């Protein structure tokens, strides 16, 4: 199927047809595919935009350099947020491949984006990356005083099955000098972390 009709299919109301188009684009891509998908990240059509995010994630590591450029360099908040979400999709689709350091560094900078859409998407993406991204999340948690960002990072850390996650969250939950909301978030994140671990043991 030609690229043009696959791009049209990304807008289709049927999610199965969109999914087919996403993987078909990843499989049959040419030099224009990634730039065209990057161009869709500014679209107001949410269905089309989300399908493009998934298609970029389906392609994998080759999309990382343009996605990091967009995350850190675009003036458009929708593009920056979508770029962070697409990087998360790369991690979801290729869990056995080591996630590029360039992408982790880009997402760490994305945590400091002034727009909550972008810094929350960056935190979520780093949570999806998991253990390789742990330090980026923990360092930012110590350095920031942005409560919204702290909660996003706490939630991201709670999805990482690593002993350090429990240490960081326990320390926050017990820190009497910390904001009450942050302590409560850390406490509920600890129970989520136990749930993640018990599911891994099954």
- On whether the CB atoms of residues 135 and 107 are closer than 8 A, the answer is no
C-alpha distances (whole Å) from 159 to each of 8, 63, 89, 152 are 35, 25, 16, 11
- On whether the CB atoms of residues 66 and 38 are closer than 8 A, the answer is yes
Rg (CA), the chain: 18
Alpha carbon 41 to chain centroid, angstroms: 15
For 35, the token pair is 């730039």
| pLDDT tens by residue, 166-194 | 999 999 999 999 999 999 999 999 988 87
| pLDDT tens by residue, 36-94 | 999 999 999 999 999 999 999 999 999 999 999 999 999 999 999 999 999 999 999 99
Domains: count for the chain: 1
Q: For residue 190, how many other CB atoms are within 10 A of its CB?
A: 18
pLDDT at residue 200, rounded to an integer: 64
For 174, the token pair is 């017990």
| pLDDT tens by residue, 126-173 | 999 999 999 999 999 999 999 999 999 999 999 998 899 999 999 999
Stated pTM of the model: 0.93
C-alpha distances (whole Å) from 180 to each of 6, 151, 152, 173 are 50, 12, 16, 9
CATH of the domain at 170: 1.25.10.10
- On whether the CB atoms of residues 122 and 107 are closer than 8 A, the answer is yes
Q: Confidence band (pLDDT; 50, 70, 90) for 100?
A: very high
SS3 81: helix
C-alpha distances (whole Å) from 129 to each of 101, 112, 154 are 11, 18, 15
The residue segments making up the domain with residue 78 are 3-201
């Amino acid at each position: 199927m030609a690229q043009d009709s696959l791009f049209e299919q990304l807008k289709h109301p049927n999610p199965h047809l969109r999914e087919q188009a996403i993987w078909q684009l990843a499989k049959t891509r040419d030099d224009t595919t990634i730039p065209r998908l990057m161009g869709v990240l500014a679209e107001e059509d949410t269905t089309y935009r989300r399908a493009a995010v998934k298609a970029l994630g389906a392609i994998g590591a080759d999309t990382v350099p343009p996605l990091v450029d967009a995350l850190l360099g675009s003036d458009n908040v929708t593009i920056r947020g979508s770029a962070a979400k697409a990087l998360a999709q790369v991690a979801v689709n290729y869990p056995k491949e080591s996630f590029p350091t360039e992408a982790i560094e880009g997402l760490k900078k994305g945590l400091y984006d002034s727009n909550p859409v972008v810094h929350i998407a960056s935190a979520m993406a780093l949570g999806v990356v998991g253990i390789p991204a742990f330090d980026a999340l923990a360092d930012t948690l110590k350095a920031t005083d942005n409560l919204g960002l702290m909660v996003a990072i706490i939630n991201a850390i709670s999805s990482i099955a690593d002993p350090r996650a429990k240490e960081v969250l326990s320390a926050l939950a017990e820190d009497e000098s910390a904001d009450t909301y942050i302590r409560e978030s850390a406490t509920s994140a600890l129970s989520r972390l136990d749930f993640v671990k018990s599911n891994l043991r099954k």
